[in-house]
Amino acid sequence: MSFWQDKRVLVTGATGLLGSALVKELIREKADVVCLLRDWVPESEMFRNETVNDVTIVSGAITSQSLVERILGEYEIETVFHLAAQTIVGVANNNPISTYESNIKGTWTVLESCRRSPAVKSIIVASSDKAYGSQKLPYTEDMPLMGTHPYDISKVCTDLIAQSYARTYKLPVSITRCGNFYGPGDLNWNRIVPGTIRSILKNKRPVIRSDGTTIRDYLYIEDAVSGYIQIAKRLEQNKNFFIGEAFNLSTETPITTLELVNKILSLMDSELEPIILNRSSHEIKEQWLSAKKAHSLLNWYPEYSLEEGLKKSVAWYKEVLK
């Protein structure tokens, strides 16, 4: 029997790229999934692939402690994946207060609610590689969190609040820090992978907002899901060892934005030339992660190379946007 069979799981942020993919996998593993949704997002992959029909939907805000406590209690939740967040750096720069509200208050609301709910056995909180700020590369989990700009700071606070609840209250929390997700289901055209693919499919030149030299690592969404699943299992099986631990999930293959766009152009047999705007601001120039801790403690390794993940992504967008 699957570890997840009949396990009662709460997923916040379930209509996002990661949330939709995670819910799909949990349903496949026969889990009993509850999703807390602030907004009804019909274009989300969770709606498109109809997994929404296999979950319990609760509408409301992640910042409502009474609501979160009711969900945990009434549905006897055992595992919580806290993914809900405002995730776009540009939005955070333009409207930091709403980002702080959802990302920081949302995190303490979930954790305080879990502290009051004895049925909860494991909680996975999504931090980010942005929490590390600008420092020696690659980032490792023992480095200080040195984010500077609004989105980065919101994830530093998310991360530290989770660590605080783990250390102070022995709450069974582990933390993920990942690079940039991509893959089927991402319809946020401001992100470089879906935006580039859609432009090429429309025979339009892809647009790079930065100067093209920023360096990131990219993680295919199915690999991210497998990492989250593995962390949650290990946390429940060995709380004393995994409580408060953070894990980087990464392919450890950094690439510049221009190189990434050119790779997509090549995979799609396009001769279009990218437009480089050089207008981005408040973004860290170079970021990538070491995943050695996840390799050694979780036996987690990404299944997809960047090229393999991009090929699967291109095929999905061709089907969806045809």
pLDDT recorded at residue 186:
94
Q: Is residue 285 packed enough to be buried (19+ CB in 10 Å), middle (13-18) or exposed (0-12)?
A: exposed
- Report the C-alpha gap between 6 and 8 in whole angstroms: 6
- Report the C-alpha gap between 270 and 263 in whole angstroms: 10
Among 151, 165, 182, 228, the one annotated catalytic = 151
CATH fold, domain 192-214+253-286+316-320, is UDP-galactose 4-epimerase; domain 1 (3.90.25)
For 207, phi then psi, to 5°, come to: -110, 130
**Token duo for residue 3:** 């570890």
| Every domain of the chain and the residues it spans | 8-182+218-252+288-304, 192-214+253-286+316-320
pLDDT recorded at residue 262:
98
- Secondary structure of residue 114 in the 3-state scheme: helix
- Report the C-alpha gap between 239 and 207 in whole angstroms: 46
b/e sequence 244-271, b meaning 16+ C-beta within 10 Å: bbbbbbbbeebbbbbebbbebbeebebe
- Secondary structure of residue 304 in the 3-state scheme: coil
- Report the C-alpha gap between 162 and 127 in whole angstroms: 9
Average pLDDT for runs of 10 along the chain of length 322 = 93 96 97 94 88 96 97 98 89 91 97 97 97 95 95 96 98 97 94 97 96 96 98 94 97 97 98 93 88 97 97 96 86
CA torsion 208→211→217→218, rounded to 10°?
0
DSSP 11-69: EESTTSHHHHHHHHHHHHTT-EEEEEESS--TTSHHHHTTGGGGSEEEES-TT-HHHHH
Please indicate whether residue 132 is annotated as part of the active site: no
**Token duo for residue 237:** 């099986």
- Among the listed residues 204, 305, 196, 290, the one whose alpha carbon sits nearest the alpha carbon of residue 246: 290
Choose the CATH number for 8-182+218-252+288-304 among 3.30.1490.100, 3.40.50.720, 3.20.20.80, 3.40.50.280: 3.40.50.720
pLDDT recorded at residue 279:
86
**Do 40 and 65 touch, CB atoms closer than 8 A?**
no
DSSP 230-244: HHHHHHHH-HHHHTT
- Report the C-alpha gap between 34 and 28 in whole angstroms: 14
**Token duo for residue 213:** 């030299």
Q: Enumerate the β-bridge partners of residue 275.
A: 207
